[in-house]
Structure 1
């Protein structure tokens, strides 16, 4: 959970310095909660032999900002944490999401002004 705490601390610092609109923190928190719940549902389905959530869905949720919730779910639920192929794609989604966030938080970020209106 250390990486998630650090990430949200960085988001807060960016918002305090005006580099990121405050609603972005809430968007990441909401996406993380949705992603965590989705992992929990998938873990339960795996135990019961029920229909599972496709891995692509889990990756898309992570890419859309839910990766902190995914990381917490992987650690606390021990779900999808040992599957190497899943972890490689998951790490790529984290890097892509953080890279996009970095671009948006620069003065040249094309969507920055749009996000500021939220």
Structure 2
């Protein structure tokens, strides 16, 4: 049975891969003028730990680079995650 660290590592890896792939799918849908993935869903993936995957996709695909509300929410999620991680590590 995996310990907490192993579970967290598996979770973070999986959620970041999913976030990256969903951003890739959204970029593809945007290019083909198809139905897009709602930004709220992408932000939930970030909030669940997929922030690095979202940022990698933003830079890798030049996707969502001009969407200021999306980027502002994403940086807010990142700030909260850094604070929570810092508090957890400091205990």
Query: Is TM-score (shorter-chain normalized) higher than 0.5?
Result: yes
* Structure 1 position 77 matched with structure 2 position 75: no
TM normalised by structure 1 equals 0.67
Query: What is residue 6 of structure 1 aligned with on the other side?
Result: none
Segments of structure 2 that go 5 or more residues without pairing to the other structure are: none
Aligned residues: CA RMSD: 1.6
In 1: Cα distance, 2:77 partner to 2:65 partner: 15
TM normalised by structure 2 equals 0.85
Deviation at 1:23, TM superposition (A): 2.8
Larger Rg: 1
In 2: Cα distance, 1:60 partner to 1:23 partner: 20
Task: Choose 20-29 or 50-59, whichever is displaced more.
Answer: 20-29
Query: What is residue 77 of structure 2 aligned with on the other side?
Result: 93
Deviation at 1:30, TM superposition (A): 1.0
* Structure 1 position 24 matched with structure 2 position 35: no
How many equivalent residue pairs? 88
Segments of structure 1 that go 5 or more residues without pairing to the other structure are: 1-19, 108-118
Q: Which has the higher helix share?
A: 2
Deviations 1:78-100 (A, max 9, x none): 11122222111110011122222
